[in-house]
Structure formats: C-alpha cells, structure tokens
Amino acid sequence: MQIRVLIGISAFLCSGSLVAQTITGISNPTAGAQANGIAPGSLVSIFGGSLAGSLANSSSSTLSTSLGDVSAVSFNGVNAPLVMVSDSQITAQVPWEVIPGPANVTVARGNAFSNAFSTQVNQFAPAIFSLRLGGLQAIAINGDGSLAAPQGFPGMGAHPATAGDTLTLYATGLGPVNGSLADGALPAVAGAHTWYR
C-alpha cells in the first residue's frame, strides 16, 4: 500500500512539471484599443502562462523563429519571427505568407506544445504605437527628432507639430507592401505613407 502511494505521488509531481504552456489571448502590441486585430507582417502580443522559461529579447535586427527556450510560434503552421519571449507574453511578427482568415496559433517549447488558440487575421489592422504619459500620446516624431506633443514631458524633448511639418509615426498592421519582405527582416528602404492636413 505504501509503495502505491509513493508511486502515485511521484507520477503526480512528474505530470505537474510537464504542464504545457497556455495561450489566453492575442492582440497588436500598441498601447491603445486592441479591437482592430492582427494582419500579416504586423507585430502581435501573445498572452498566456508558461509561454517561456525566462525573459529573452532578440539581439539582432533580423528576427529568428526561435528565442530562449521557445522553439517556435506558428500561425497555421508557419513559424513566426520572435521579438521577445517571457512567461506571460510573447511579441512576434505575423508571417507575411499567412492568408487573412481564421488562424490557429501555437507556442512550442522543445517538444511541449500549447493549446491551439483561434484568432482572426485581417488584411489590414492598423494601429499606431503610443506612450502612456498621463493619457495616450501617439509616438509622432518631429523633423528635429523631438516628440510631437504638448511640452512638459519630463526627460523628453517635445513640441507640438504645426501645419506643414513632416511627422514620423510608428505603426503596425498597415497591410500588404510593394515588393516582398522576408519574415523577420527590416526592409532595405523604410516605406512611408504620407498624410496631409
């Protein structure tokens, strides 16, 4: 009787240490509202538990499809380039070749796989990156390198933009691009959209 109890406890402890990671949500990583979804080529945040054994950040401008102990994050079987992995969050790029529509996302750590999380991939899912500085402030950069915002942000050069100024905005989910880009690679020449006011 005592041997059976010890074997039962040992099996319980072993199975407990092999619990796979769990995905609970996916969104774009901007600081604003998350309702506009994800798109091919966009950055996404994957939320959950036990997603990675420890924090790891990419140290290269060309992203790899494995990072730390995370061997793969896949969208419908296509491995995604990884920016950052941690226990509760992974930041990745949706591969350009993922076709808009329903997608199953999984995280692999060695031979352990997460649940398949279902999400919708749209052709476009625009979102502007922003700062939380007493409210949301778009990351809009003036031609002189300062933040286009009311003055008064401690430690940051800032001044409002005026009519005719050129601004650089940081965004994700803008959709297809001219030509082709490799997953995880920076474009040779950064593309730009121009708006006039």
Q: Which helix (H) or strand (E) holds 23?
A: strand 22-27
pLDDT score recorded for residue 127: 85
Q: How far apart are CA 140 and CA 120, in angstroms?
A: 29
pLDDT at 194 over 50: no
Percentage of the residues of the chain whose pLDDT score is greater than 90: 43
Q: How confident is the model at residue 158 (pLDDT cuts 50, 70, 90)?
A: confident
pLDDT at 193 over 50: no
Nearest of 102, 121, 98 to residue 36 by alpha carbon: 121
pLDDT score recorded for residue 54: 94
pLDDT score recorded for residue 48: 94
Q: Enter the tokens of residue 46.
A: 């994957």
pLDDT at 2 over 50: no
Report pLDDT digits (tens) over 115-146: 999 999 999 988 888 876 656 778 888 998 88
Report pLDDT digits (tens) over 76-109: 999 999 999 999 999 999 999 999 999 999 999 9
Q: How far apart are CA 20 and CA 115, in angstroms?
A: 8
The DSSP string of 134-196 is: SSEEE-EE-TTSSEES-S--TTS-EE---TT---EE-EE-----SS---TT---SS-------
Report pLDDT digits (tens) over 11-70: 333 334 444 689 999 988 875 444 468 999 999 999 999 999 999 999 888 899 999 999
pLDDT at 10 over 70: no
Helix (H, G, I), strand (E, B) or coil at 78: strand
Other Cβ atoms closer than 10 A to 25: 12
Q: How confident is the model at residue 148 (pLDDT cuts 50, 70, 90)?
A: confident
Q: Which helix (H) or strand (E) holds 74?
A: strand 72-75
pLDDT score recorded for residue 183: 85
> Dihedral angle at the C-alpha atoms of 52, 63, 74, 109, nearest 10 degrees?
-30
Helix (H, G, I), strand (E, B) or coil at 165: coil
Q: Say if strands 72-75 and 101-109 run parallel, antiparallel, or are unpaired.
A: antiparallel
Nearest of 118, 175, 169 to residue 141 by alpha carbon: 169
